[in-house]
Structure 1
């Protein structure tokens, strides 16, 4: 079952990335803002990949005879 805490973690990471992006862009550090955005996307993808692997293992056990 999907953990509600994970949704809040993804939302918190998203909000943190948005804040860092705005601060860095206003400071003229556009390159660091892009790197920060990419790091945030990778962190969120790692959270989601864990869920997808659990989904595939559940489907695999469901269709095994």
Structure 2
């Protein structure tokens, strides 16, 4: 496992913690709709990071098995 993968895991974790804190602050101030929108935006951003990583994986597999 290389350091890029570990740093990506830490980035996703830190982003998740940040979203959790932001959601709690927004819900405490009575802005439930904005909290839900920020959660959805955060999930989309994390999914884009994961899809990019999977794309790199498929590219690597393709180059390994290319004849």
Q: What is the TM-score with the length of structure 2 in the denominator?
A: 0.86
Distance in 2 of aligned mates of 1:6 and 1:63: 26
Deviation at 1:63, TM superposition (A): 2.1
Unaligned 5+ segments in structure 1 are none
Q: What RMSD in Å do the two structures reach over aligned CA positions?
A: 1.2
Distance in 2 of aligned mates of 1:27 and 1:12: 23
Unaligned 5+ segments in structure 2 are none
Q: Which has the higher contact order (CA 8 A, sep 6+)?
A: 1
